[in-house]
Amino acid sequence: MDLSLDPEEARFAEEARSWLAEHVPSAARAHDIGSMDEVVARGREWQAQLAAAGWVGIDWPLEYGGRGASPVQVAIFNAEYARARAPQLVNRVGINLAAPTLLAHGSPEQCRRLLPKIATAEEIWCQLFSEPGAGSDLTGLSTRAVPGDGGWYVTGQKIWTSYARYARFGICLARSEPGSRGPRGLSLLAVEMSSPGVDIRPLVQMTGEAEFNEVFLDEVFVPGDMLVGEAGRGWQVASTTLAHERGTNFPFKEEVVHEGYLADLLAEAEAAGAMDDPATADALVDAYVSLVVLRTHNWRTLSKLARGMSPGPESSWVKLTWSSMTEKLSEAALGVVGQAAPLWGPWQRQWLWSKAAGIAGGTSEVQRNVIAERILGLPRELR
Ligand SMILES: Cc1cc2nc3c(=O)[nH]c(=O)nc-3n(C[C@H](O)[C@H](O)[C@H](O)COP(=O)(O)OP(=O)(O)OC[C@H]3O[C@@H](n4cnc5c(N)ncnc54)[C@H](O)[C@@H]3O)c2cc1C
């Protein structure tokens, strides 16, 4: 396999690199830190600037504001974006989850109306999937959508809803066929978060930030034109969202971000003499090995995407490798900061955040089940 860029790809990489070099805010890592209000305000500004230059949703069709970029170009851009240490996109739920779902299942009117404001972060989106009684087993959800008055009335409770307080819309999975069970009889609706009957309550996580929320929905009216895909076939629609949630359709970003972290950490370890400690040196090697494994998975994903295939169950390898790599790197970082580990600093915050990596977007246990059953062909788990 030839991994070098052809002249057209090299020109594209250079264009992205020089725009980012000129525009990425200084101290971009600090960009993502602070109160949620500050992070979101800074994030909106940055994303609007990026979108105005045509660097958001680059793989979307031209008519919706994209560049029609190929999977290889998306991977090149992601790597350049991470290498430039640009801030995370504030509307990442909109970009990574809602947009691909709308492109795959939404009507042209929905795409025309919703995608441009997702790109600029003028309209932030959240994901209303998890419930107190339905996480890993999402098809056990009990939020219901009842038809009426040219739309749907949605009632239920969602939880762990990132960015709900800032969101204009939430992609909401609800049971629309009474008495149905499991994946049948679900529908996916775009709920306007300012509608009467929506009650959002922030949840403070251990980093001290309140990214998550509980969302209570009480007879919330959703107009019929905000149904995404067919009524009763919401599971098929949500499967697109979930496939994108593992990040496999956006290869290389996390790998390059963590290469940067690892380089910083190695420099700090050298300066602090921490490499003399065998446990810390071992942890750093472990993190490096995970990074190389992630890179190999990324290349495999990219070669499938470039051939027009979807990554399939292998995306579980990528998710698992990524979460284990981020956990190992954060663990190694605490070894490097040594006695300062109980104090508050960027590595300590990262370590706390790394605990979420094995949960968000499907837990590590669930990824292992997918790998066992769908890739290795082992017997199905007993339920
Ligand atoms: C940072 C972060 C952001 C999130 N943002 C959102 C969001 O914006 N919107 C949203 O809808 N959700 C969001 N979530 C929720 C996330 O999708 C769920 O937490 C996740 O799917 C797990 O569900 P649960 O918390 O209900 O755990 P459960 O499903 O109750 O699992 C509890 C434990 O049991 C284990 N387990 C469950 N089933 C099995 C099994 N079959 N085999 C082996 N072990 C099993 C799990 O691995 C886990 O350790 C977010 C979570 C995090 C951490």
- Please spell the DSSP secondary structure of 32-75, one letter per residue: T-S-HHHHHHHHHHHHHHHHHTT-SSTTS-GGGT-----HHHHH
pLDDT at 43 over 80: yes
Domain membership of residue 241 (yes or no) is: no
Same domain for 287 and 334, yes or no, is yes
pLDDT at 157 over 90: yes
Q: Give the list of residues 6+ apart from residue 212 with CB closer than 8 angstroms, or none.
A: 159, 160, 161, 162, 202, 203, 205
pLDDT at 31 over 70: no
Same domain for 279 and 202, yes or no, is no
Residue 224: closest CA among 109, 98, 93: 109
Report the pLDDT value the prediction gives residue 287, as an integer from 0 to 100.
92
pLDDT band at 339 (very low <50, low <70, confident <90, very high): confident
Report the pLDDT value the prediction gives residue 250, as an integer from 0 to 100.
61
Same domain for 217 and 327, yes or no, is no
Report the pLDDT value the prediction gives residue 278, as an integer from 0 to 100.
92
Q: Is 369 in the pocket of ligand 1 (CB under 6 A)?
A: yes
Q: What is the mean predicted confidence (pLDDT) over 133-145?
A: 96
CATH number, residue 195 = 2.40.110.10
> Cα(360) to centroid of ligand 1, in Å?
6
Residues in the chain: 383
pLDDT at 177 over 60: yes
Same domain for 251 and 368, yes or no, is yes
Mean pLDDT of the chain: 92
Q: Give the list of residues 6+ apart from residue 215 with CB closer than 8 angstroms, or none.
A: 126, 128, 157, 158, 159, 161, 164, 170, 198, 199, 200, 201
Report the pLDDT value the prediction gives residue 159, as an integer from 0 to 100.
98
Share of the chain above pLDDT 70, in %: 96
Residue 158: closest CA among 170, 148, 146, 147: 170
Report the pLDDT value the prediction gives residue 343, as an integer from 0 to 100.
87
Q: What is the mean predicted confidence (pLDDT) over 46-66?
A: 96
- Residue whose CA is at the smallest distance from ligand 1 atom 13: 160
pLDDT at 28 over 60: no
Q: Is 161 in the pocket of ligand 1 (CB under 6 A)?
A: yes
Domain membership of residue 117 (yes or no) is: no
For 228-281, what is each residue's pLDDT tens digit?
Answer: 999 999 999 999 998 888 765 566 888 898 999 999 999 999 999 999 999 999
Domain membership of residue 97 (yes or no) is: no
CATH number, residue 81 = 1.10.540.10
Domain membership of residue 72 (yes or no) is: yes
Torsion sign across C-alpha atoms 192, 195, 201, 207: positive
Q: What is the mean predicted confidence (pLDDT) over 320-346?
A: 90
> Cα(358) to centroid of ligand 1, in Å?
9
Instruction: List Cα–Cα distances, 177 to 112, 135, 225, 231, 286, in angstroms.
Output: 29, 20, 18, 9, 49
pLDDT at 200 over 60: yes
pLDDT band at 32 (very low <50, low <70, confident <90, very high): low
Interaxial angle between packed helices 253-272 and 315-337, expressed in degrees from 0 to 180 and rounded to the nearest 10: 20
Q: Which domain holds residue 146?
A: 124-232
> Cα(141) to centroid of ligand 1, in Å?
13
Same domain for 68 and 174, yes or no, is no
> Domain end: 232, 258, 278, which one?
232
Query: How many structural domains compose the chain?
Result: 3
pLDDT at 326 over 80: yes
